[in-house]
Amino acid sequence: MEKVFDSVLKTIGKTPMVRLDRLKAAWKLEGTLLAKLENLNPGSSKKDRIALRMIEEAESSGELEPGQPVVELTSGNTGTGLAIVCAVKGYPFIAVMSKGNSMERARMMRALGAEVILVDQAVGSPPGQVSGQDLDLVEERTQKIVQELGAFRADQFRLEGNIRAHEYGTGEEIWEQTEGCLDGFVDFVGTGGSFAGCSKALKKHNPEIRCYLLEPTSCPWLAKREVTNPNHRIQGGGYSRDLPFVDPSLVTEYLTVTDEEAIEGARALAQHEGIFGGFSTGAHVSAAARLLEGQEKGSTLVFLVCDSGLKYVSTDLYL
């Protein structure tokens, strides 16, 4: 067993990996699916990693001073990670979030000591479906708050600590846990940080590893295909916007996934493997399964369980 840690921050990362043999059998797949349980981080998501890295790098550079407020827009997961880090380190934290995201996340951030500011959705945006327009409104409010308070902006879409957290953390852990025996990595795009970081780490070890980037079927923006509907139910990504972290040279292929496929994947993962993930995790399951049924038949594919299904109990992801 590990020693007793001096704070919960020391428990971030080094998450376990599980082979999904029961799901593979149920869906009659040929190959191996490996799930890295990022939902077991203290904030129940992969975003704890980037929250810690961004804050520590800002402390080291002097951009973040003792007692200075920290502000960031969030769909809830990065905000939860920042709330944890700021609570331990003594920074006031303000999370700015669209009302289109599940309210469990706002309650969790408040419980962790954060101030949460909820922003109305754009006209015409359905509840529970956050679009790029919704995110633009959140960004506008976030910038105003940063200026008014002289706060540090923990900008997850621009700070390189986002990529480094996954390149030197998550990606290296995947390589070590699989002992290099993997063929592909599948990731739904939010900020692009986990895709870029993990892909860089894995390709550094083996350039032949294939890295698949997922977007919602209705808005394959990065794939440069037609956006038919910017609204979708896969919270935390698919915002129909350019992402500076995503280097096209890392992308083996752009894939899409529907809301229904993401829901089916999440429910199957819970029912067959006892792993309780959210929408984006379900997207990973469905896309990886589709690959094993086709061009990746017989391969070993890895994906992240991005967060916990407990953050979506107010939605119809699980009925």
User: Known catalytic residues?
Assistant: 47, 280
Picking from 141, 261, 241, the residue whose alpha carbon sits closest to that of residue 269 is 261
> What is the DSSP track for 215-241?
EETT--TTTT---S-S--S-TT---SS
- 240 phi/psi in degrees, rounded to 5: 55, 55
Q: Which of 246, 224, 277 is nearest to 37 (CA)?
A: 277
DSSP, res 311: G
CB under 8 Å to 124, separation ≥6 — which residues? none
Among residues 249, 279, 245, 247, which one has the least CA distance to residue 265?
279
The length of the chain, given as a count of residues: 319
Tokens representing 170 are 């998550």
CA distance 9 to 259: 34
Residues in contact with 173: Cβ distance below 8 Å, sequence separation at least 6, in sequence order: 13, 14, 15, 36
User: Hunting for tokens 């025996």 — which residue is that?
Assistant: 181
**Alpha carbon separation from 39 to 101, 163, 223, 278 (Å, rounded):** 18, 19, 28, 9
Helix-helix angle 279-293:259-273, to 10 degrees: 90
Other beta carbons less than 10 A from residue 104's beta carbon:
17
What is the number of other CB atoms lying within 10 angstroms of the CB of residue 133? 17
Beta strands in the chain (DSSP E): 17-19, 32-36, 70-73, 93-98, 115-119, 152-153, 184-188, 210-216, 253-257, 300-304
